[in-house]
């Protein structure tokens, strides 16, 4: 990366997403490595709780309403809900989970008919 570039590690709470990341605080939020500025404050949404809660609600409410109004058929109608499904009718429908547990994978699409 070019000197002066800025990395904002939004995954620092889960260990970070850059090799050079380590958690910082609001009191001392940045550090520099090889001329690259790092901002790795844990729980960034916590600094703006109302705004971050409203943003999360705006992003997730349509999915909750779809599930409430349509039940499991919402999963078959919405690719994003399907992508978040791990288990359906006792079968693992998320490939990465099945592979990590060395168990059979059953794509949810086979039930869509």
94 and 57 within one domain = yes
Quote the number of domains for the chain. Answer: 2
Q: Please indicate, yes or no, whether residues 102 and 52 belong to a single structural domain of this protein.
A: yes
HEC string of 13-50?
HHCCCCCCCCCECCCCCEEEECCEEEECECCHHHHCHH
pLDDT in tens, 1-53: 899 999 999 999 999 999 999 999 999 999 999 999 999 999 988 889 999 99
Q: Are residues 96 and 55 in the same domain?
A: yes
Residue with tokens 């994978």: 105
Same domain, 37 and 63: no
In a domain, 1, yes or no: no
Q: Assess whether 65 and 87 both reside in one domain.
A: yes
The H helix count followed by the E strand count for the chain is 4, 5
Q: How do residues 46-91 score in pLDDT, each as one tens digit?
A: 889 999 999 999 999 999 999 999 999 999 999 999 999 999 999 9
Q: Clarify whether residues 30 and 66 are in a common domain.
A: no
């Amino acid at each position: 990366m070019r000197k002066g570039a800025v990395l904002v590690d939004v995954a620092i709470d889960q260990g970070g997403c850059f090799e050079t990341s380590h958690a910082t605080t609001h009191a001392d939020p940045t550090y520099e490595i090889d001329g690259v500025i790092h901002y790795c404050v844990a729980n960034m949404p916590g600094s703006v709780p109302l705004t971050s809660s409203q943003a999360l609600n705006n992003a997730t409410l349509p999915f909750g309403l779809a599930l409430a109004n349509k039940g499991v058929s919402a999963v078959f109608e919405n690719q994003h809900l399907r992508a978040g499904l791990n288990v359906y009718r006792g079968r693992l429908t998320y490939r990465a989970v099945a592979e990590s547990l060395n168990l059979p994978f059953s794509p949810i699409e086979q039930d869509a008919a």
